[in-house]
Structure 1
Amino acid sequence: MATLRAATDSLLDRAARLGSLGDDAVRAPSALPGWTRGHVLAHLARNADALVNVLSGRPMYASAEARDADIAAGAPRPLAEQLDDVRASAARLAQTAGAIPADGWSARCELRGGVTDVMARIPFRRLVEVELHHVDLDAGYTLDQLPADFVNREIDFLTARFAGNEQVPPLSLSAPDGTTWTTGAPPSDGDRVLVTGAPYALMGWLAGRTTGTGVRAEGGAVLPTLPPL
């Protein structure tokens, strides 16, 4: 939670600098196709409230349609209103998390689409939202500026998520320091496509933030297109 607070403050500080460009800055495109910066900020606020629901034992969102409608409705707001919303919703999440007893974090909870996890993973899931959407704001924070500990933990999470997925060929990922990960479908012949790159580049590719910038498939193999998360 302390790491999450620091990441949220960093995002708010950078987003506030957009104010020098006027409210048109929040209506400008983000790095996410079809979303403005306002969409990104509105999503972050509503995601915090959705995680309050999760930690409180309620459905994460009333429905997929309601989630999308809330983001669309919040996107055009002035920057100052957006920042106040992100800040207040983050405070509600922190307050809810602070009220959970130590032995309560081991309980299971339900997220979107029937996905379940232990409560203790919720702060990291929120950290992923904050860090990646900070990059998505396209306001000067880039993948290579993400904290190394976060990047490695997110690669662990994403490779576990793609493990056994028949839409993903058998992959072995390798960073310059020798750290390796495996993911994708089980190899029928024991071989995996070796993909190399700096950890932030590998994570950006796995997270769908790039199509492979800074990574390469070795041995003449073609870098595969990953399915959406």
Structure 2
Amino acid sequence: MIDHVHDLTAVREATDRLLDAVGELDNAAVAGPSRLPGWTRGHLLAHLARNADALVNVLEGRPMYASAEARDADIERDASRPLDAHLADLRESAARFQQATDAPADWTRTVTLRNGVTDLAARVPFRRLVEVELHHVDLGIGYEPADLPAEFTAREIEFLTERFSGHPDVPALRLTATDGGTWSTGRTEGEPLTVTGTAAALMCWLAGRQGGPELETGGAPLPVLPPL
């Protein structure tokens, strides 16, 4: 069962961790490369702020972004700002998101995200949590996949395996976490390939991050997953 109140608490805690960590940076570090190809840390911070506002739009019945081009332009516009501007924007956009989620609402309603994707309003807080937690790791400033809360990691694996379930471009897979948990995903036909590793490594691989060297496949090539 989705518990949006629980997830909103997790979002606040994750945002506080992010703000504390980013607050230790300087302008040169913000301008440096992140772990996402082609993006500086400033790009990631700008994206996180604009994503908070975009999810406010979703909750209030507006398009998530005016367009894909506008989304990308906003990130490029804000990426090169100094640290203080990024921090202020992150705090202010997080406050707007919290204000929107504090308003009385029907959390069982269906909302529309990017590209016509729909979901329950109650899932929006977890979607925001994913953005904050994964992009904190993507910043490459000391917060690693193993530092992610175990509950978050397991839930994100559940979310991603559900998303890839039955996908024609994903072979049948059985995922086994050495620290607990098994999942199945991909095509339903064929003998499943077993991929073994820590839950954090499995989650990173499913989410399109590094995880290959830490994953065991019994000698078979690790499949390349389609983009999310």
**Which of these residues, 81, 84, 93, is aligned with residue 80 of structure 1?**
84
Question: Who is 2:3 aligned against?
Answer: none
**1:224 and 2:223 correspond:** yes
> Per-residue deviation at 1:153?
0.2
- Mapped partners of 2:42, 2:221: distance in 1: 36
- Mapped partners of 2:227, 2:155: distance in 1: 19
**1:15 and 2:22 correspond:** yes
- Mapped partners of 1:160, 1:4: distance in 2: 22
| Count of aligned pairs | 221
Question: Who is 2:45 aligned against?
Answer: 41
> Per-residue deviation at 1:213?
3.0
4+ residue runs of structure 1 moved beyond 3 angstroms? none
**Which of these residues, 55, 60, 67, is aligned with residue 56 of structure 1?**
60
Give the TM-score normalised by the residue count of structure 1: 0.94
Question: Who is 1:174 aligned against?
Answer: 176
CA contact (8 A) 2:179 2:199 kept: no
CA contact (8 A) 2:180 2:199 kept: no
CA contact (8 A) 1:205 1:213 kept: no
Equivalent residues in 2 for 1:154-165 (5 A)?
154-165=156-167
Question: Who is 2:212 aligned against?
Answer: 212
- Mapped partners of 2:210, 2:121: distance in 1: 30
**Which of these residues, 19, 30, 35, is aligned with residue 31 of structure 1?**
35
CA contact (8 A) 2:175 2:194 kept: yes
**1:153–1:122: structure 2 CA closer, same or farther, 3 Å change rule?**
same
For structure 2, list consecutive stretches of 5 or more residues without a partner in the other structure: 1-7
Equivalent residues in 2 for 1:45-124 (5 A)?
45-101=49-105, 104-124=106-126
> Per-residue deviation at 1:100?
3.0
> Per-residue deviation at 1:58?
0.4
Q: Which secondary structure does the structure 2 equivalent of 1:213 belong to?
A: helix
CA contact (8 A) 1:197 1:216 kept: yes
User: After the TM superposition, which of the residue ranges 126-135 and 209-218 deviates more from structure 2?
Assistant: 209-218
Question: Who is 2:5 aligned against?
Answer: none
- Mapped partners of 1:100, 1:197: distance in 2: 42
Q: Which secondary structure does the structure 1 equivalent of 2:19 belong to?
A: helix
Give the TM-score normalised by the residue count of structure 2: 0.95
CA contact (8 A) 2:201 2:211 kept: no
For structure 1, list consecutive stretches of 5 or more residues without a partner in the other structure: none
Q: Which secondary structure does the structure 2 equivalent of 1:54 belong to?
A: helix
> Per-residue deviation at 1:187?
1.7
Q: Which secondary structure does the structure 1 equivalent of 2:224 belong to?
A: coil
- Mapped partners of 1:65, 1:124: distance in 2: 25
Q: Which secondary structure does the structure 2 equivalent of 1:196 belong to?
A: strand
User: After the TM superposition, which of the residue ranges 174-183 and 109-118 deviates more from structure 2?
Assistant: 174-183
Question: Who is 2:143 aligned against?
Answer: 141
Q: Which secondary structure does the structure 1 equivalent of 2:195 belong to?
A: strand
> Per-residue deviation at 1:178?
4.7
CA contact (8 A) 1:201 1:213 kept: no
Supply the AA of the counterpart residue of 2:209. Answer: R
- Percent of aligned pairs sharing the same letter: 60
- Mapped partners of 2:194, 2:156: distance in 1: 19
